[in-house]
Structure 1
Amino acid sequence: MTNRKNPSSIQDTLKAIMGAQRIILCAHLQPDGDTIGSLLAMKALLERLGKEVTAICHDPVPKNLHILNGWEAVQLASECTIDRFDLFCALDCSDSDRLGDALPLFNKAPLKMVIDHHASNTFYGDINYVDSKVAATGNLVFRLYEAAEMEIPIEVTPYLYAALSSDTGNFAFGQMDEEFFVQISNLLKAGLDITRYSRALHLMKEVDFVKLLSRALASLSFICDGKISYMCLTQQDFKESETAPESAEGLVNYALNLPGVQMCFLATETRENRVKFNLRAIQPHNVAEIATHFGGGGHVLAAGCTLEMPFEKAVSLMKERMSQSVC
């Protein structure tokens, strides 16, 4: 068994996979393109290897990812009835709390595997294939295809494109290197329709998103001489616009991509005394440190956390903590 404090090699990871027959794959709660794309690509790989695969997630697959064929196979973790399996694999989950309702299944797994790229990963599995130098967990799944000597079929290319593009803002930020773009090149060689999926995943917006965007922009505020910006969405906003917090995914970037802004946040009141924060920054700042301070986590330039307290108090604390980092 691998030392949980050290990353596992790709060879050990593949060996564990080959030694298992019944495998559960799990995406993180409030799923995004990287975790769902990685899960679907991993599911396809394992099935080609002859494995019995069950894919689960705490939350439903977001509407914008329904363009990925096979998304319907992802079950709600709370509805999963599997009781006999050999391996549980968490994808893009920095710690076990990110598993949500899948945590009981993870805890009973005879072998626990983690495949992730977050620097804040807690190495909570028996096998921890963790590399924080890559831009997305999808990069690690791509490597597993190579290690298994499996060609990537055309139907898998959208999954990996969704993973790699989602965590880099469609190639606008993140830890992109030569390997990253070689993988993208190989996806194109395998038949990826990048025009179709780029438009669907990054340009098309649901009507509910646009409704919330108008409300978020109306709340746009600046502190620290314009170096910090922030937007707020309250329960009243969701009620009046007949939308849900899930539709606000990606809104925070509108507060960051403004002249002079170095750091920003979107505060979302998901219920009374519960405020979700999406944090963003440009180099050389680090919002992962801020998120960790409040019990969250993420990447250097993109992170998040949740505070259990009244909305105004939570926003005040975040403004104060960001100001300490920037002003």
Structure 2
Amino acid sequence: MVVPAIIVLFLFLFVSFSYYAYQIVYTPNVDTKNQDTYVYIPTGAGYAQALDSVEATGVVIDKLSLRFMAKLMDYDELVKPGRYKIENGWGNRQLIGVLRLGEQSPVKITFNNIRLRKDLAAKLATSVEPGEAEIDSLLSDPAYLQELGFDSTNIVSMFIPNTYEVYWTTSAKALLDRMKTEYDKFWTAERKAKADKQGLSQQEVSVLASIVQAEQGRYADERPRIAGVYLNRLKRNMLLQADPTVVFSVGDFTIRRVLNVHLQHDSPFNTYRYKGLPPGPINVPDISSIDAVLNPESHNYLYFCAKEDFSGYHAFAATETEHLANARRFHRAMNERKIMR
């Protein structure tokens, strides 16, 4: 009677262990509640920190079984940094398998409405592991920027607004090198030829495009006409007298009405005081603005002023007399709305 009892006990333990092993390996152990869930494992993280990061997402049902499986799959020797998407219904084997193979989910990087280099660094830092300070330091490194063909004043023109996929663990240098590659791709032979036709370098196109974009941020269809005005003034060696460059030079982006005191601000970016283009862009111009400079409207306008109906469009003029009349109408409208600064 003793032997059969031992056999029965052995079979019971074997079945119980097999069932638990099956549970550990194959039973779903992730409940994301149908929410996109990502775990970030920093560069240099060890086994314990990696598993803590996974558990901190709050989607693991049985933490003990996850750790058992991680040990069984030698994850302690194969920890890889990265950003990983955790799918609902995964078992431990699937989850640890993705982590140990380093199968990262790429990050989509976009940047729009960027004015300053530090703003660009801050924006990029939200999508990759390197911090804002590290990225900004590289964006202002003279030796590195010289390799790229830029300087700290115009480096933002290297960034062409679009959507790019990178891995979260991408280093700051690899990220900027990637942006330089995208910049070179953007500047096709056709675009370069159009820049030459306007008498502008690629960087000068970006500088003028940034002014055009600052003047017309709402309606892209008007940008080629505005670009035409500034190109006409450049060809005549006239001051550009672009209000957005004054705002940029003053550094107060709350200004809605440029006053005489602002016009006196001494800065190479102030196109009321200095002829030609500023030394760098006043924002990161989008593709529409760049193409507006490369494909400007042909006309004889030398001036423009915001319309008094505040529609976002502008009144254009070929003569100063006509322009001053347009400006008076707009100033009256601003006074009526009590916009004094």
Greater fraction of residues in strand: 1
Q: Which has the larger radius of gyration?
A: 2
Please give the range of the TM-score, normalised by the shorter of the 2 chains: under 0.3
TM-score (norm 2): 0.24
TM-score relative to the length of structure 1: 0.25
Larger helix share, 1 or 2: 2
